[in-house]
Chain A
Amino acid sequence: MNKKDVIIIGGGPAGLAAAVELYKKGITDILILEREKKMGGILRQCIHDGFGLTRFGVTLSGPEYAKKFIDQVEELKIPYMTDATVVELTEDKVVTVATKSGLFKYQAKAVILTMGCRERTRGALGIPGERPAGVYTAGVAQAYMNLYNRMPGKEVVILGSGDIGMIMARRMTLEGAHVQAVFEIQPIPSGLPRNIQQCLNDYDIPLYLNHTVTEIHGKSRLEAVTVSQVDEKMKPIPGTEKTYKCDTLILSVGLIPENELSLDANVELDRRTKGALVDEYFQTSVDGIFAAGNVLHVHDLVDFVSMEAEKLADGAARYVKEGKLPECGISITTDANINHTVPQKISGKEDVKLSMRVRKQLIDATIVVQQGDKIVKTKKMKKAIPAEMIQIPLKASELVGMDNLEVRVEC
């Protein structure tokens, strides 16, 4: 069996950043496995700009952002395979990959999971009604348009105010489609404020909060959708139904980390993030298997994905060199206002950055990180929204002993 120090599964923003950073740390026996024809992951179809402001200080399109990392991979001659789908991953870090030139097996010292995420579908949501053609997730519509030059439809309704949905509202409008409205079941938008402004408001596309699609009509192609207002429990209110004639329904209703391979390798997942439970080294419950990026938890900005993967490279490089990583015995718990933190466990011996999201919109809130009786850190926020990831750095010197940490909100 072939041996590798590190196998990286997925050549998107997380995988590429991890590879480059590992290489810089002296780990050069790396192999990136990418199932698509080219590296770059989902960035390849994100032709809009707005990427890179945090990481590079300039605004780039998705392909441009990806190219910055791909160029480094090429320059450093980091080995990669495209058109290579990992079909099996074991707890012992044996990776089986299918390619046109054969089925290959590798024994890796460390495996880095950077598979990204998938979109929630109509079926997962259980939207009632008929099943005509013309109902697409935003990412599928984006791929048809930006990678295949194919127009998904002309008369459009969008369900869900996720970022990709809003970006597709603008994209389809620019290509001559008529986007009637965006409907969001929750009382607040799920995407970023900048996208509401630049993708909806600037094009006079209305956004209706507390609304959802309650029926899909059409035997062949989509003909109409019925939309209803919902109550505070998100149940449709009878009598509020309105029918919109359309040939296309775009869904932007959430992303799910793609952890099928992780589960095959017995990696333990966090029910809240649907990604792996990790420590501050981004090591999962399986020794030597690491995860970062959207496979770990869904990020708002790709910049944070790259930075997280770069941080992961510290731990993975140390693991390869030393064969193990320090024990992370401090667990991090959250209150009802905080959905989750990543990592979920830390050692207490090193500086870390906690990433988290709030469950609902909070005004004039203070996020408190507490260990035992000691308040380790507080972060005051005028407004905290679920759409934005919050990061709080913690210094090892601020921690006392090995008590667990609690992250909570004071309003």
Chain B
Amino acid sequence: MKNLYDVIVIGGGLVGSAIAREMARYQLDIAVLEKNLDVCYETSGRNSGVIHGGFAYDTGTLKAKLCVEGNKNFDQLAEELDIPFIRCGKVLVGNTEEDMESLKRTMKQGEINGARELSLIDEEELHRLVPAVVGKFAMFSKTSGVVDPFIYNIALAENAAMNGVEYFFNHEVTAIDWKGDHYEITAGNEVFKTRWVVNSAGLGCGKISDMLGITGYRVIGSKGDYIILDQRTGALLPMPVYPVPSNTYMGIHVTNTTDGNVIVGPNAEMVEDFTYYGVPQKNIDYLAEDASNLWPCINKADYIRNYSGILPKWVDENGKIQDFKIEMREDIAPQAINLVGIESPGLTAAVPIGKYVVSMMAEKEELKENPNFNPRRKGIKRFFEMTEEERKAAIEENPDYGEVICRCEKVTKAEIMEAINNPLGVSTMVGIKYRTRSMMGRCQGGYCQMRIEQMIEEKYHLEAGEVVYNRPGAYVLTGKVREEGK
């Protein structure tokens, strides 16, 4: 920990990490305080993984502007940071005259927003694009895409860390005090001093805003549940299929992932508890039933897992969902940038949000470029994606590439070792899962989790029973069966 930071970013999700990375382009001492044991444990990792076109948001909003910008620049970002990204397009499928009117409105709004390459297509064209879909016509957004949200967040964070940003995990912020020329931030029983603070706490944005003294924001959670289907289903879904959206809700859709799985969801339930991620049976059944109207390929035999995510939505006194709030309130909280209600399309807009935050800071003080900033980061080379020749070469260079640990996703020991040695020092089981896809396949770690647990124990010198699944207290095991020699 440094004596005094220039900037502390609260929250290491996609937006927090993108802000930290954008700030690292300048000569600033930066730290990220993250309450979880890794990035992307909340909203950033619990979503559909869709890079949106920007047509679904009211013209003139930050949501529309930053989403369009994020979409436009995503190829470059994905290339720089080695993020799995497919610009596969997506379709919004309709059947009735009302649907058609709605799609025309959406398309018009999109065009005004600057969303590129939108078109209305007929049934024939729709079925050429997605043979299995049910629908009479659609709006096709050619520039929409899908991204691996875990690697995206991890890549932003790792690249920020490579460029000097310090990450502090298990550091939940409990107090923020303005000391006349700097802040004292209490987190994880430590006190951090910083000149600037950025609230990018996602679901915690309301709480942190209150701590800054900027009170009055009403943030509600919109919880969505999802079902994940087997990789073999991916062949039937070349791009996400959505129903015709309403103004505030995109509807239950089916989405291909960058790894060839299909995810079904989400529903949207308003929740007060931002920590409950349980998925009720009735929702699982409802998702499958509803989405089958669009894409009748959902079989229980293909269920791999279900999950849920919560979007923090800023609403007014009438409950109406508001735009992203990105503000400086110098009268109340000097040298603080406050982000409230960063929900969808935050995944698409993360880097533009980061740039926007930096531009606000740059209005207040001169930022000197960091000549050593390196925007590039290499991910772990995946055996699964290699050609035969590449596999041969990889094994020759590192024999651990010849030892398959996770059979479903064909993840080798070399990849798992690299993930365990990750630059952020994350030592959870889920941390390894997100970085490698091990334990994500159809057997859900039935074959490989024991080996991975052992590798984590060894690398981090942990006792049996100290390795955690995802968060403090989520211990995988309770100890040894018997002490050796007994």
Check A100 against B399 for contact (C-beta < 8 Å): yes
Check A150 against B480 for contact (C-beta < 8 Å): yes
Within 444-462 of B, Cβ neighbours of A (below 8 Å) are at 444-447, 449-450, 453-454
The digit string for B383-413, where 1 denotes a CB below 8 A from any CB of A, is: 1000010011001100111111001101010
What residues on B are CB-neighbors of A152 within 8 Å?
477-478
Q: Is A128 an interface residue (CB 8 A)?
A: yes
Check B482 against A119 for contact (C-beta < 8 Å): no
Beyond A103-B402, A175-B481, A221-B475, whether A147 also contacts B450 by CB under 8 A is yes
Check A219 against B275 for contact (C-beta < 8 Å): yes
Q: Is A368 an interface residue (CB 8 A)?
A: no
What residues on B are CB-neighbors of A139 within 8 Å?
446
The digit string for A128-171, where 1 denotes a CB below 8 A from any CB of B, is: 11111100010110011101111111100000000000000000
What residues on A are CB-neighbors of B270 within 8 Å?
none
Q: Give the CA-CA distance A145 to B429 in the complex, in Å.
A: 18
A235 to chain B, nearest CB (A): 10
Check A151 against B480 for contact (C-beta < 8 Å): yes
Check B477 against A144 for contact (C-beta < 8 Å): yes
Check A102 against B446 for contact (C-beta < 8 Å): no
Check B227 against A130 for contact (C-beta < 8 Å): no
What residues on A are CB-neighbors of B464 within 8 Å?
149-151
- Residue of chain A at shortest CB distance from B405: A85
Check A119 against B391 for contact (C-beta < 8 Å): no
- Residue of chain A at shortest CB distance from B389: A103
Q: Is A198 an interface residue (CB 8 A)?
A: no
Q: Give the CA-CA distance A214 to B277 in the complex, in Å.
A: 15
What residues on A are CB-neighbors of B280 within 8 Å?
128
How many chain A residues sit at the interface, stated as a range, is 35 or more
Q: Is B362 an interface residue (CB 8 A)?
A: no
Q: Is B249 an interface residue (CB 8 A)?
A: no
| Partner pick for B444 among A121, A144, A149, A260, CB 8 A cutoff | A121
What residues on B are CB-neighbors of A121 within 8 Å?
304-305, 443-444, 446
Beyond A123-B306, A130-B277, A133-B474, whether A98 also contacts B391 by CB under 8 A is yes
Q: Is A124 an interface residue (CB 8 A)?
A: yes
- Residue of chain A at shortest CB distance from B384: A87
Q: Give the CA-CA distance A63 to B464 in the complex, in Å.
A: 25
Check A123 against B228 for contact (C-beta < 8 Å): yes
- Residue of chain A at shortest CB distance from B304: A123
- Residue of chain B at shortest CB distance from A236: B281
Q: Is A54 an interface residue (CB 8 A)?
A: no
Check A126 against B278 for contact (C-beta < 8 Å): no
Check B404 against A128 for contact (C-beta < 8 Å): no
The digit string for B292-306, where 1 denotes a CB below 8 A from any CB of A, is: 000000001101111
Q: Is B77 an interface residue (CB 8 A)?
A: no
Check B404 against A119 for contact (C-beta < 8 Å): no
Q: Which of B3-11, B25-33, B99-107, B465-473 makes up part of the contact surface?
A: B465-473
Q: Give the CA-CA distance A235 to B306 in the complex, in Å.
A: 20
| Partner pick for A154 among B306, B388, B478, B484, CB 8 A cutoff | B478
The digit string for B424-448, where 1 denotes a CB below 8 A from any CB of A, is: 0000010000000000001111110
A284 to chain B, nearest CB (A): 18
Q: Is B232 an interface residue (CB 8 A)?
A: yes
What residues on A are CB-neighbors of B410 within 8 Å?
85, 87
B464 to chain A, nearest CB (A): 5
The digit string for B222-239, where 1 denotes a CB below 8 A from any CB of A, is: 000001100010000000
The digit string for B304-337, where 1 denotes a CB below 8 A from any CB of A, is: 1111000000000000000000000000000000
What residues on A are CB-neighbors of B404 within 8 Å?
35, 85, 87, 98
The digit string for B175-189, where 1 denotes a CB below 8 A from any CB of A, is: 000000000000000
Beyond A103-B392, A126-B306, whether A148 also contacts B443 by CB under 8 A is no
Q: Is A247 an interface residue (CB 8 A)?
A: yes
Q: Is A363 an interface residue (CB 8 A)?
A: no
Q: Is B279 an interface residue (CB 8 A)?
A: yes
Check B307 against A150 for contact (C-beta < 8 Å): no
A182 to chain B, nearest CB (A): 20
Q: Is A353 an interface residue (CB 8 A)?
A: no
- Residue of chain A at shortest CB distance from B398: A100
Q: Is B479 an interface residue (CB 8 A)?
A: yes
A221 to chain B, nearest CB (A): 5
- Residue of chain B at shortest CB distance from A145: B481
What residues on B are CB-neighbors of A126 within 8 Å?
227, 281, 284, 300, 303, 306
Check B276 against A130 for contact (C-beta < 8 Å): yes
What residues on A are CB-neighbors of B465 within 8 Å?
151
Q: Give the CA-CA distance A119 to B447 in the complex, in Å.
A: 10
B41 to chain A, nearest CB (A): 12
Beyond A151-B480, A154-B478, A260-B408, whether A130 also contacts B402 by CB under 8 A is no
Q: Give the CA-CA distance A125 to B275 in the complex, in Å.
A: 23
- Most A Cβ at <10 Å: residue of B227, B474, B475: B474
Check B279 against A128 for contact (C-beta < 8 Å): yes
Check B403 against A100 for contact (C-beta < 8 Å): yes
What residues on A are CB-neighbors of B367 within 8 Å?
none
What residues on A are CB-neighbors of B475 within 8 Å?
133, 220-221
Check A151 against B306 for contact (C-beta < 8 Å): no
Q: Is A99 an interface residue (CB 8 A)?
A: yes
Check B468 against A133 for contact (C-beta < 8 Å): yes
Q: Give the CA-CA distance A381 to B249 in the complex, in Å.
A: 59
Q: Is B476 an interface residue (CB 8 A)?
A: yes
- Most B Cβ at <10 Å: residue of A133, A137, A220, A260: A133
What residues on A are CB-neighbors of B407 within 8 Å?
35, 85, 260
B288 to chain A, nearest CB (A): 9
What residues on A are CB-neighbors of B445 within 8 Å?
140
Check A103 against B395 for contact (C-beta < 8 Å): yes
Give B contacts to A, CB under 8 Å.
227-228, 232, 275-281, 284, 300-301, 303-307, 383, 388, 391-392, 395-396, 399-404, 407-408, 410, 412, 429, 442-447, 449-450, 453-454, 464-465, 468-482, 484
**Can you sample 9 A-B contacts with CB below 8 Å?**
A98-B395, A98-B412, A102-B402, A121-B444, A123-B306, A124-B444, A145-B481, A149-B484, A216-B278
Give A contacts to B, CB under 8 Å.
35, 83, 85, 87, 96, 98-103, 118-119, 121-126, 128-133, 137, 139-140, 143-145, 147-154, 175, 214-216, 219-221, 247, 260, 263
The 7 closest A-B pairs by CB, nearest first: A123-B305, A220-B473, A133-B469, A85-B404, A220-B474, A100-B399, A133-B474
